[in-house]
Amino acid sequence: MIAPDLLAWVTAEAVTPEQVVPYVRAVAGSRPRMVGSCVGFDSDGEFVLVGYPMHDPLDVGAMTEAVGQALQIRGLRRITVIGSVRPPQAPEQSIVTEDCYYALPMPPPRPGQKLRNLLRRAGRELTLDRGCQYGDDHLALVQRYLDERHLATGTRHIFRQLSRYLASSAGSLLLSARLADGRLAAFAVGEFAALRTAFYMFSFREPRLAPPGATDLLLAGLLDEARERGHTQMNLGLGVNAGISFFKGKWGAAPFLPYVQATWETSSAGPFSRLRGLFADESEGFAMKKPSGKASGKAFRGPGFWARVRERLLGVPRLLDCVQVEVSSRCPGRCIYCPHTTMREEWDSRDMDMDTFARLWPLMLRSGRAHLQVWGEPLLNPAFFDMAALARKAGCAVSTTTCGLLMNEEVARKLVEGGFDIVAFSLAGTDAASNASRRGVDFDRVCEAVSTLQAVRRSLNSVHLEVHIAYLMLASNMEAVRRLPRLMHRLGVRGAVISTLDYIPTPDLECEGLAPHETEKLARASAVLRETEEEARRLGVAFHWTLPRPDAPGASCRENIFRCVFVAADGYLSPCVYVNLPGRASDPKRRVFGNVRDQDPLAIWEGEEFRRFRNRLASGEPDLPCLTCVKRFES
Ligand code: SF4
Ligand code: SF4
């Protein structure tokens, strides 16, 4: 442990957020300690060394010495070192990521003309409210942000606890941007606990209210604060991606400190710890059946403490947003538009086995979400909850979509306790008549299933699980969607995603889809959806929809294939669910790029052929299955 005065000294000298001790403690609850001239954080056999020596963050000799000392810590299983270079002790197989911190000197350079115009415009519409209380409107804004993004469960959890972070760090400051009528358009959090360096920590904006430049106005406000408090620079965080780097660069921020994170295991797991890794998640107390076959020899150790903090708080995303897994292609339904029904003669009804699922471990470690459903009813797979537990252990948010027929109190309890953050129920109508295309999936039964899950969720005081509706709007049934907000309100459902028939399994169903050239149909659909969205807003439920755009360049795809991947029940990897249907081995549009039973899934993802497929789409010369795919025109 660090004595309180030393702890305060570390924070006072901080140049990176990892050295702001109250911040790290508030979000991770780990124990700070000094190792040589660096601060580190201890967490049950795992140590994170912030290898920026307090006297000089670029002193590599002092960092190397501190790493040597940290490696002597008793019971150490894994170490993560964050510093300006890769530590010489890091073995070859270390997991290394690189980035750099951006900073602005204080006072900052004068903004350019374009930025000044933006600030003027935002300043006319918004008033900055400094050091205010974190209230219901902040909470609602964060909630909307969460509703609209696929984020790891941990991220959602942390964002929901922003008020706790603000309360526990005396150096934090909440800055809110409000419209003339008092509505909250955006807010940001700065950290000023260090003597010389201020930190730009978080910002959220309400896109429907915030005028252009709202986030810039908030940053300007935090810079004013830093100037008044006498800071000499503001750390704007890591580059993260091109968009975020652009925002920082626009202000004149420049990289000032390399960020190299290296993680490695310090001792080989003995038989006992291997078993523990396989069968139990120590932090969450779940018991998992032993996977059979080759994969059972692996220890499934989840992402390290610092990897989690880095993702959740510094906003560094994982390689992938989502790995979508076909856990079962069996289904009791006979929906008229579904290939499970139209291709029933050749359909391969199958479950993924646990051994195949376990081989996705390297992919899940690099993915923000595992969505356990594609074609079929996922709850039919007897290993479904074990799979969800393994994905959670890899640090993924876990979600699923169900037809609802298998829901009962026991299943609902497992979904809640299994850490799912989204469970979606499929509908294609808003009453028994309009939902009739979902043959074999009784409308009232689905509503009852939603109510069962809601009741169990409430009885267990679960705040992490959100119930959604996955709604298919058929062209012949557009008007029915108007009743969806009311239905959601009645069932306590938070959000709905409206899609149209993207996969046309037989020519006679073409009329039920919405192609980019069908402008009249699209205009009707758009009018219905806009009006329904208004109603949803009035009732306080989230309503997301997209339609194909005739003018879309077609060089990207709604399935976001650069950050998502689909894994079929037999282990084959594909860019999306439309290019590998169960039982369609001879389909000329079938595209698979390797099987996890034979190859590392990350190697498949990064393989040349898979890359070529993605790049062809981006270059506007897509492969055969994409040529006629409506997903290229949705936005
Ligand atoms: S419930 Fe889903 S998988 Fe089953 S037939 Fe209907 S659409 Fe297809
Ligand atoms: S455009 Fe291609 S990759 Fe994207 S969803 Fe369609 S078929 Fe799949």
- Protein residue with least CA distance to atom 1, ligand 1: 333
Ligand nearest to the CA of 634: 2
Beta-bridge partner residues of 504: none
267 pLDDT higher than 50: yes
pLDDT at 477: 97
Q: pLDDT (tens digit, 9 = 90+) per residue, 99-112? A: 889 999 998 989 89
Question: How far does the centroid of ligand 1 lie from the alpha carbon of residue 7, in Å?
Answer: 57
Sheet containing 233-238: order of strands: 31-35, 38-43, 46-51, 78-83, 254-265, 95-105, 233-238, 197-205, 184-191, 172-178, 127-130
CA distances from residue 594 to 142, 199, 326 in whole angstroms, order as listed? 39, 44, 16
Task: Return the residue whose CA atom lies nearest to atom 1 of ligand 2.
Answer: 626
- Ligand 2-lining residues (CB < 6 angstroms): 557, 559, 561, 575-576, 578-579, 625-626, 629, 631-632
* Per-residue tokens: 67: 């790493």
- CB-based pocket (< 6 A), ligand 1: 331, 333-335, 338, 340-341, 375-377, 403, 426, 438, 441
Is a pLDDT exceeding 90 seen at residue 186?
Answer: yes
Position 288 pLDDT exceeds 50: no
- pTM recorded for the entire structure: 0.60
Higher pLDDT, 21 or 132: 21
Looking at the CA of residue 561, tell me the nearest atom of ligand 2. Answer: 3
Is the bond preceding 107 in cis, omega lying within 30 degrees of 0?
A: yes
Q: For the chain, what percent of residues have pLDDT higher than 70?
A: 88
Helices marked H in 238-360: 242-250, 271-279, 305-313, 339-342, 354-358
Q: What is the pLDDT of residues 509-523, one digit of tens each?
A: 999 999 999 999 999
Q: Quick one: 179 exposed, middle or buried, by C-beta within 10 A (0-12, 13-18, 19+)?
A: middle
The confidence band for 555, taking pLDDT boundaries of 50, 70 and 90, is confident
Find where tokens 């660096």 sit: 38
- Position 592 scores a pLDDT of 96
Q: Mutate which of 351, 375, 439 to test ligand 1's pocket (most atoms within 8 Å of Cβ)?
A: 375
Residue 392 CA to ligand 1 center (angstroms) comes to: 26
Q: What angle (nearest 5°) sits at the alpha carbon of residue 509, between those of residues 507 and 513?
A: 115
**pLDDT greater than 50 at residue 131:** yes
Give residue 329 CA to ligand 1 midpoint distance, Å. 9
The reported pLDDT for the residue numbered 219 is: 95
Ligand 1 atom showing the smallest separation from residue 376 Cα: 3
Q: Are 396 and 324 in contact (CB under 8 A)?
A: no
CA of 332 to the centre of ligand 1 (A): 8
376 Cα: distance to centroid of ligand 1 (angstroms):
6
Residue 29 or 8, more confident: 8
In ligand 2, the atom with minimum distance to the C-alpha of 575 is 3
With a cut of 80, say whether residue 525 has pLDDT above it: yes
d(CA 153, CA 577): 24
Distance 627 CA to ligand 2 centre (A): 8
